[in-house]
Amino acid sequence: MPRGDQVIRQWKLLRLLESRRGRTLEELVKELNCCTRTIIPTPSNFDVEAYMRESFGILRGGPAVPVKVKFSNAWARWIGERIWHPSQTLERLPGGELILTLQVAVTDELKRWILSFGREAEVVEPIVLREAVRAEAQALLERLEVEDLAREFSSLQLTLPVIVGV
């Protein structure tokens, strides 16, 4: 998990997004660019690390649960060289694969991070996250199949007979 100034920036971004209420991101950026004061004051006794402890990134979700993701041996070294979250543990498997275990909330941000590794990452647990990743991958596959069929159909050249003298 990020520390120091980055955590403070994440907290301010989080508060800004929570206060968004229907405004577009473009409107928020314009508001930020025209202001020289702090938009959302942070209480002096606020502990941002405690507040964000259960989040994987900047999004907070429900309660933290054990999340296990198995990475292929192609990605195991890279995954193992970085601290992804303070709660992480690593388990190296005999075939060179790696299981990364985190104690975090299940969020769309976590799901998207796992999906970014494609077939090189597999959610072991929790089942709800495994199913969410599977559903997203299935939806993408179905969308690509429909687009491929449409492309194939549009490339067919249909000829109609021309009847002369009617």
Is there a contact between 76 and 98 (Cβ–Cβ < 8 Å)? yes
Express as a percent the part of the chain with pLDDT over 90: 44
65-153 to CATH, choices 2.30.30, 3.90.1570, 3.30.70, 1.10.3210: 3.30.70
What is the C-alpha to C-alpha distance for residues 42 and 130, in angstroms, rounded to an integer? 36
Residues of the chain with CATH 3.30.70: 65-153
The mean pLDDT of 83-111, rounded to a whole number, is 95
Q: For residue 116, is pLDDT > 90?
A: yes
**92 has which bridge partners?**
98
pLDDT for 27-78, tens place per residue?
Answer: 666 666 665 555 566 777 877 777 778 888 878 888 999 999 999 999 999 9
pTM > 0.95: yes or no: no
